[in-house]
Amino acid sequence: MTGNLVPTTAGLRERKKQQTRHTLIVAALDLAEEQGYEHTTVEQIADRAEVSARTFARYFPTKDSVILSVLAWLAAGVRDGLRDVPGDVSSFDALLRATLSLLDRTERGAMAMRPDRLLTVLRVVHSSPGMQAAAADVWSTSTAAALAERIGDVAGDRTIQLISGVWSAILTSAWSELGALQAASAVTAETLPGQMATALIRAYDDFAEVAGNPRR
């Protein structure tokens, strides 16, 4: 994996904490890929990261929270991408552009998240309805914060909540479409970012057609 999944700050103590967090995330993803997420325990993750289970608990309350932290990191990448989208672009189109840009950077190896680990995250998220619901909540919350920053409003505004909720549903629909392909071994680490982009565009265009607001 190139780079960290957490930002680097100047303080030595904080950098060490961030590096430990990064190491725990990598350990969890590698174990999930090697032996299956359901067979991976907190103790195993801590052991792979060469820390104690108590140390793990200081960074993550549960095993699931490790996976969700990666989604939050990805969502933060979309938020950063929104800043590069012109202000006259509609909120939904802007979210689409920012997300496609993130996937493109992932495919080109310009992001810290390697495609093979992104594939592991996707598999874990779609391993249970509970994880899918938790992932949708992460996307919705992050999108609301990003839109509040873009529009200059508060995240709890009704319009922002509606947009973020619909966008989360679009993402869930798009990523769920890849579930069957994964089961059929039709998704690989190399093809995943492009397939995610294609699925997202298809889901978004379906939404735009229903809403009477075709993509620009």
> From the first residue on, what is the mean pLDDT of each consecutive set of 10 residues in the chain (216 residues)?
49 85 93 93 97 96 94 90 92 95 81 78 86 90 91 85 92 79 69 90 92 65
d(CA 203, CA 45): 35
**Residue-range domains of the chain with CATH:** 1-61 (1.10.10.60), 63-211 (1.10.357.10)
Rg (CA), the chain: 18
Written as one string, the DSSP assignment of 87-109 is: TTS-HHHHHHHHHHHHHHHHHTT
d(CA 17, CA 20): 5
d(CA 199, CA 160): 24
What's the pLDDT at 86? Answer: 94
Question: Nearest CA to 24 among 58, 75, 71?
Answer: 58
What's the pLDDT at 1? Answer: 41
Q: CB of 203 within 8 A of CB of 173?
A: yes
Side chain identity at residue 120, one-letter code: T
Contacts of 182 (CB under 8 A, 6+ apart): 119, 122, 123, 126
Contacts of 160 (CB under 8 A, 6+ apart): 144, 147, 148, 151, 153, 154
Q: What is the pLDDT of residues 56-99, one digit of tens each?
A: 999 999 999 999 999 998 888 899 999 999 999 999 999 999 99
